[in-house]
Amino acid sequence: MPTFVQILDFIGTFAFAISGIRLASAKRFDWFGAYVVGLVTAIGGGTIRDILLGVTPGWMTNPIYMICTALALLWVILFGKYIIRLNNTFFIFDTIGLALFTVVGVGKSLSLGYPYWVAILMGCMTGAAGGVIRDVLINEIPLIFRKEIYAMACVIGGVFFWFTHLLGMDMVLVQLISGASVFLIRVFAVKYHICLPQLKGEEEDEHTKQ
Amino acid sequence: MPTFVQILDFIGTFAFAISGIRLASAKRFDWFGAYVVGLVTAIGGGTIRDILLGVTPGWMTNPIYMICTALALLWVILFGKYIIRLNNTFFIFDTIGLALFTVVGVGKSLSLGYPYWVAILMGCMTGAAGGVIRDVLINEIPLIFRKEIYAMACVIGGVFFWFTHLLGMDMVLVQLISGASVFLIRVFAVKYHICLPQLKGEEEDEHTKQ
Amino acid sequence: MPTFVQILDFIGTFAFAISGIRLASAKRFDWFGAYVVGLVTAIGGGTIRDILLGVTPGWMTNPIYMICTALALLWVILFGKYIIRLNNTFFIFDTIGLALFTVVGVGKSLSLGYPYWVAILMGCMTGAAGGVIRDVLINEIPLIFRKEIYAMACVIGGVFFWFTHLLGMDMVLVQLISGASVFLIRVFAVKYHICLPQLKGEEEDEHTKQ
C-alpha cells in the first residue's frame, strides 16, 4: 500500500512531467523528446540536489518516476486536446508537486547534516530547478526568472520549515505547515498577479559582458 | 598496443568531436569555442553518466579524449572543406561511436551493481547526452528531440544487451549483438527516413507553463 | 580578520555576480531571476569543478558567496545607472576574479592528487564555466566561445603554475606568477583586441548534424 506522501509524490511527478511534455509538444518534439523533457522536468531538481549533496539520485533506486513520466506521455498522446480544459486542475497538481518537492528537499538536506541555509536552497532547487532545465532544453529563457512568484514560494516555505522546527513542533506538523505555505503563496500570487519587481534593463558594453 | 575496443573508442570520440566542431564552426566560434564544443560532444554523455553513478569521469584519468579532440580540431582547421565530401564516412564513424558508447555505458553501470533499467538509461545517456549539451551550448533545440531515430537506437541496443545477457550468452557476444543492433537500427532508420511520431502542438496558457 | 586571498575571493565573486545580474537585467529578469543568474555566474565554475573532483562545493560550507551575491544584487538595484560609468573598474575586478579563480582551481585539483593536465583544465573551468552557464540561462550563445581571449588566459595561467612549480619555486610565488599571468594576458588581449582565429562556417547537412 502506498503511503499518503507517496501518492502526493506521484501526483507531483505526474503534474511536472505533464508540464514538460506539453511545452515539448508546443515545440513539435517527437515522443522520445517529449518523454525526456517530461522526465527532466520531474526529476531534474531532485537530481541536481542529490548530486550536490553527494548521494545517489532517488529516481535511480526506484523506477516509479520513469513509469510515471511514461503514463504522463501516454495521457498527453491520448487526451492532449482535453488537457487544456483541465488547466486549473493541473495548476493545482503542479502546485502540490512544488510544495511536496520543497518539503522533501529541505528534509533530505537536514537529515544529511547540512545547515538550514543550505537546506532551504536545496528545497527551492528541488522544486524549481527541473523547470529551469526544461526551459533550457526547449531553448527558452527560464520562465521562473521573469514571471510570477514560484521559486520564492519555495524559499518562504523553507523558512517556515526552519521556524516551526526551531519552535520544537512535531516533524509532521512542520512539514505540513511548510508545504501548505508553499501551496498557498503560489495560489495567492497567481490569483492576485503578484510579481517580484523587475530589474531595469541597461545597454551592455562589450568588456563587462564577460 | 591499443586493443580493438580502444581503437573503436578513439574513432567514436573523434567522430563525436568532429560533429561538435562542425556545428561550432557553422556558428562562427573561435578555435577555443570549437574545441570546447567538440570535447563536450565527445565526453559529455559519459561525464553525466559517471557523475550520476558516483565515479570519476573516464576522461579525467586518461588524456586520450582531450588529445583526440585536439586532433579533430586540427583536422577541421586543415581539411574543413573536404569534410563535406566525407559525410557518409563520418556518418558511419558517428554511428560506430554511438554503438560503442551505448555498450560501454550499459556495461559500466551493470558492473557497478545497478539494475538493468538504470543501465539501459545510462547507455542511452552515454550515447546521446553529449549531443544534447552540444546543442544547448550552440543555442539550438536539441536535434535528437525532433528528428530521426537516434537515442531510441541506444535504448533498443540496451534491451538487446539485457536479453542476450539473460540468455546466458558470453559477454563478448552480448556486447557485439548489442552494439550491432544500435548501429543497424540507426543506419536503417536514416536510410528509410523512419521517425518517431510527433506530439501535436497546442496553444499554451500561462498558468500551466510553469 | 579576512586574509588577503579571502578579500580577493570576495572581490572576484562580487564582480562575477555583477556581470550575471547586469546581463539578467538586460533581459528584464525579476529580482529572483537576477539573483540566480548572478549566483550561478559566481559559483557555477567552482561547482562543476568540485562535482567532477568528487568533493562538496565550497559555497555549501560557507554562506559568504550567497551573501556576496545578495550585496551585488542590492548594488545593481540601488546604483544600476552608475555602474556603466564604472565599467573599467568592473573589468579590473572581473579579471582579478578570473585570475584568482584559476589559481584556486589549479591548486585545489593538485592538492587532491590529480595530474597537471587535469588541474589546468579545472583552473580554466573554475574561471570560465560560470559565464557559460550564465549565457545558457539567458538563452545566448556563450560569449567566450566567440570573442576575446578569456578562457585561454586561464589555460596559459595554469601552464605558468605548472612550470614555476616544476622549477621548485615557493608556492606563494607560484600562485602569484600564475594569477598575474592570467590578469595581464586578459588585460593585454582586450586592450589590443587580440582574438583567436575563427573557424570558417560551412553548410551543414542533416546526417552529420547528429
- What ipTM score was computed for the predicted complex, to two decimals? 0.87
Three-state DSSP class for B30?
Answer: strand
Q: Write the single-letter amino acid at A199.
A: L
Bridge partners for A198 per DSSP = C30
Averaged pLDDT of chain B: 87
Kindly give, in sequence order, each residue whose CB lies less than 8 Å from that of residue B75, ignoring residues fewer than 6 positions away: B18, B83
**Per-residue pLDDT at B202:** 55
Question: Does residue C204 have a pLDDT over 50?
Answer: no
Kindly give, in sequence order, each residue whose CB lies less than 8 Å from that of residue B150, ignoring residues fewer than 6 positions away: B98, B128, B131, B144, B186, C210
Three-state DSSP class for C147?
Answer: coil
Task: Give me B205's grid cell.
Answer: 496558457
Could you tell me the pLDDT band of residue C88, with boundaries at 50, 70 and 90? confident
Mean pLDDT of all residues in A97-125: 93
C2, burial (CB in 10 Å: exposed 0-12, middle 13-18, buried 19+): exposed
Averaged pLDDT of chain C: 87
Euclidean distance between CA atoms B191 and B140, whole angstroms: 25
Identify all chain B residues contacting C141, using CB atoms and an 8 Å cutoff.
27, 137-139
Could you tell me the pLDDT band of residue A161, with boundaries at 50, 70 and 90? very high
Instruction: Tell me the three-class secondary structure of chain A, residue by residue.
Output: CCCHHHHHHHHHHHHHHHHHHHHHHHCCCEHHHHHHHHHHHHHHHHHHHHHHHCCCCHHHCCCHHHHHHHHHHHHHHHHHHHHHHHHHHHHHHHHHHHHHHHHHHHHHHHHCCCCHHHHHHHHHHHHHHHHHHHHHHCCCCCHHHCCCCCHHHHHHHHHHHHHHHHCCCCHHHHHHHHHHHHHHHHHHHHHCCCCCCECCCCCCCHHHHC
Question: Does residue C205 have a pLDDT over 50?
Answer: no
The separation between CA C175 and the C-alpha centre of its own chain, rounded to angstroms, equals: 16
Of B25, B47, B56, the CB nearest to C200: B25
Q: Model-level pTM? A: 0.90
DSSP C6-60: HHHHHHHHHHHHHHHHHHHHHTT-BHHHHHHHHHHHHHHHHHHHHHHHTS--GGG
Q: Which of A56-70, B1-15, B78-92, C194-208 has the lowest mean pLDDT?
A: C194-208
CA distance to partner chain B, nearest, from residue A3 (Å): 24
Q: Which of A76-90, B99-113, B184-198 has the lowest mean pLDDT?
A: A76-90
Euclidean distance between CA atoms A105 and A3, whole angstroms: 18
Of B25, B91, B148, the CB nearest to C199: B25
Domain presence at residue A99: yes
Question: Does residue C137 have a pLDDT over 50?
Answer: yes
CA distance to partner chain A, nearest, from residue C129 (Å): 11
Query: What is the CA angle B11-B13-B16, rounded to 5?
Result: 105
Mean pLDDT of all residues in B57-86: 87
**Per-residue pLDDT at B206:** 41
Mean pLDDT of all residues in C164-192: 92
Residue whose grid cell is 519552535: A167
Nearest to C14 by CA among C97, C81, C104: C97
Mean pLDDT of all residues in B133-151: 87
Question: Does residue A121 have a pLDDT over 90?
Answer: yes
Question: Does residue C129 have a pLDDT over 60?
Answer: yes
User: Residue A160: which domain range?
Assistant: 4-195
Q: Which of A88-102, B128-142, B157-171, C98-112 has the lowest mean pLDDT?
A: A88-102
**Per-residue pLDDT at A84:** 66
Task: Give me A109's grid cell.
Answer: 538536506
Domain presence at residue C199: no
**Per-residue pLDDT at C178:** 95
Domain presence at residue C198: no
Domain presence at residue C209: no
Mean pLDDT of all residues in C152-168: 94
Could you tell me the pLDDT band of residue B210, with boundaries at 50, 70 and 90? very low
Domain presence at residue A161: yes
Give the CA distances from residue A47 to residues A3, A26, A41, in Å, rounded to whole numbers and listed in that order. 23, 25, 10
Of B18, B26, B47, the CB nearest to C204: B26
Residue B170 phi, psi (nearest 5): -60, 145
Domain presence at residue C210: no
Identify all chain C residues contacting B90, using CB atoms and an 8 Å cutoff.
208
Could you tell me the pLDDT band of residue A144, with boundaries at 50, 70 and 90? confident
Q: In the A/B pair of chains, how many CB contacts fall below 8 A?
A: 107
**Per-residue pLDDT at C81:** 67
Give the CA distances from residue C137 to residues A159, C13, C121, C134, in Å, rounded to whole numbers and listed in that order. 26, 18, 23, 5
Question: Does residue B193 have a pLDDT over 90?
Answer: no
Quote the number of domains for chain A. 1
Domain presence at residue B146: yes
Question: Does residue B126 have a pLDDT over 90?
Answer: yes
Q: Write the single-letter amino acid at B28.
A: R
Mean pLDDT of all residues in A186-192: 90
Domain presence at residue B209: no
Residue whose grid cell is 580554466: C124
Question: Does residue B131 have a pLDDT over 50?
Answer: yes
Identify all chain B residues contacting A137, using CB atoms and an 8 Å cutoff.
132, 136, 141-142, 145
Q: CB distance C210–B144 less than 8 Å?
A: yes
Sign of CA dihedral B141, B145, B150, B155: positive
Euclidean distance between CA atoms C44 and C148, whole angstroms: 21
- CA-atom Rg of chain C in angstroms: 18
Question: Does residue C49 have a pLDDT over 50?
Answer: yes
Task: Give me B43's grid cell.
Answer: 565526453
Question: Does residue A208 have a pLDDT over 70?
Answer: no
Question: Does residue B208 have a pLDDT over 60?
Answer: no
Mean pLDDT of all residues in C159-180: 93
**Per-residue pLDDT at A198:** 83
Of A29, A131, A136, the CB nearest to B198: A29
